[in-house]
Amino acid sequence: MPITFADRLNQVETSAIRELFKLLGKPGIISFAGGFPDSAMFDVEGLRTASEAALREEPGAALQYGATEGYQPLREQLAAFMAGKSVRDLAPEQLIVTTGSQQALDLLGKTLIDPGDKVIVEGPTFLATIQCFRLYGAQLVSAPIDADGVRVDALERLIEEHRPKLVYLIPTFGNPSGATLSLERRRRVLELAVKHQVVLVEDDPYGDLYFGEAPPPSLLALSHEVPGSRELLVHCGSLSKVLAPGLRIGWMVAPAELLARATMCKQFSDAHTSTFAQATAAQYLRAGRMPATLARVREVYAGRAQAMGEALRRELGEGVDFVAPRGGLFIWARLTGAGGRIADGRELARRAIDQGVAFVPGTPFFCADPDHATLRLSFATADAERIREGVVRMGRALETEAVPS
């Protein structure tokens, strides 16, 4: 007799991405498929110094069990880091450290979602959010976006229609969309949360990766302008994209009662986030290395984003449409089908593999009503030359004749 699994597993389907990643092993392939930063950008020396300091100055704390809420010196450093991003009056006790911001999503699901509850997300949104919430039985509702982020009028109609348990947004340099919610829309979204008394989750792993001007303040930073919004707002931060994913350091700011419940759930999920990683991150932040690291990362990714944008215009011309990103890791593009060329991202992705370049078609990022013409292209992990070569290959793939399958 086989093992009988829990019903919740039937909610989730991961084959789309698995299929793709199987193809990435092909030799010589240039990959725009990843959702991760470039390993070459990691401040290895800074982290080595930080971890050595942690083991020298506080070996007991760095190696022993720790508080589920997080290692207090790291909570203090993270609160100070947020203060530097215009978040007023954030006490260390108002955030908990999570094992990457993925765990914050899991804790929100565990804490808030009953089977059948509705959750509104952007269409498209982060794939692992969709799957994470579905494992708790959420029914996902897709809110349309444009280059300025979620369309607020449509969002309000969906809130009224579905009475969701929460609204989940990536307002700044969204994954996969690259879109950034405008300042005006940020205020309106906060007002909507208050008006309809719905929990609003701001996932913000990319906000520090801007290329020119800083993006508008986070919803968390703006929440003091909208009375009552802070009591409904959750903000998820992460060191993964700006420092190193391998530390698995994220954090969650939330109203006190929600934070207490999430902490209780975390206690039974992993007891606490690695104190070794937490003490290392705390030492790193305290050493004041973050501003220089951020400056370096921004400059490199800005150059790569520009190289990719230029190459796309040059090589794919009117076959593709996109808005040049102002930050983050991704270009979100749409095939136009102009001149009878391929207009399906999944089809182009398959042909692109044959040409030696990989990317993720946009389809799986939609929880409903996918736009099959879309693509997500990461410019983070290849240098400008490889990016240009990869886009040349994409151009070739776009020009290939349709082969009857």
Binders of its own copies among 114-133, rule CB under 8 A? 114, 117, 128, 131-132
199 vs 307 by CB, closer to its own copies:
199
116 vs 212 by CB, closer to its own copies:
116
119 near 164, Cβ under 8 Å?
yes
Q: Which of residues 257-316 bind its own copies (CB under 8 A)?
A: 257-258, 261, 264-265, 267-277, 279-280
List the one residue from 28, 106, 139, 304 that touches its own copies (CB under 8 A).
Answer: 106
192 vs 311 by CB, closer to its own copies:
192
Q: Tell me: does residue 111 bind its own copies (CB under 8 A).
A: yes
Burial class (CB in 10 A: 0-12, 13-18, 19+), 261: middle
Q: Are strands 30-31 and 357-358 parallel, antiparallel or unpaired?
A: parallel
CB of 249 to its own copies, least distance (A): 8
The sign of the dihedral angle between the CA atoms of 271, 166, 182, 129 is positive
360 near 176, Cβ under 8 Å?
yes
Q: Tell me: does residue 7 bind its own copies (CB under 8 A).
A: yes
Scanning 2-10, 178-186, 202-210, 358-366 for contacts with its own copies by CB under 8 A, the matching segment is 2-10
Q: Which of residues 186-205 bind its own copies (CB under 8 A)?
A: 197, 199
Distance CA 129, CA 168 (A): 9
167 near 193, Cβ under 8 Å?
yes
CB of 139 to its own copies, least distance (A): 14
Q: Are strands 320-322 and 330-335 parallel, antiparallel or unpaired?
A: antiparallel
The count of residues interacting with its own copies (CB under 8 A) is 77
Q: Tell me: does residue 4 bind its own copies (CB under 8 A).
A: yes
Buried b (16+ CB within 10 A) or exposed e, 375-392: bbbbbbbbebebbbebbb
Q: HSE, CB side, 13 Å, CA atoms: give it for residue 198.
A: 29
Alpha helices in 268-374 (DSSP H): 275-286, 290-316, 345-355
Q: Tell me: does residue 163 bind its own copies (CB under 8 A).
A: no
Q: Tell me: does residue 5 bind its own copies (CB under 8 A).
A: yes
- Within a 10 A sphere around the Cβ of 280, how many other Cβ atoms? 25
DSSP per-residue letters across 46-86: HHHHHHHHHHHH-HHHHHS---TT--HHHHHHHHHHHHTTT
List the one residue from 112, 140, 209, 394 that touches its own copies (CB under 8 A).
Answer: 112
Q: Tell me: does residue 78 bind its own copies (CB under 8 A).
A: no
Distance CA 340, CA 328 (A): 32
Distance CA 352, CA 128 (A): 24
CB of 271 to its own copies, least distance (A): 5
CB of 306 to its own copies, least distance (A): 24
261 vs 298 by CB, closer to its own copies:
261
248 vs 304 by CB, closer to its own copies:
248
Q: Which of residues 207-236 bind its own copies (CB under 8 A)?
A: 232
Q: Tell me: does residue 12 bind its own copies (CB under 8 A).
A: yes
CB of 263 to its own copies, least distance (A): 10
Q: Which of residues 18-77 bind its own copies (CB under 8 A)?
A: 36-37, 39-40, 42, 44, 47-48, 51-52, 55-56, 59-66
259 vs 307 by CB, closer to its own copies:
259
37 vs 325 by CB, closer to its own copies:
37
249 near 215, Cβ under 8 Å?
no
List the one residue from 78, 87, 97, 105 that touches its own copies (CB under 8 A).
Answer: 105
Q: Tell me: does residue 102 bind its own copies (CB under 8 A).
A: yes
- Within a 10 A sphere around the Cβ of 195, how many other Cβ atoms? 13
Q: Please give the distance of CA 72 from its chain centroid, rounded to a whole number.
A: 25
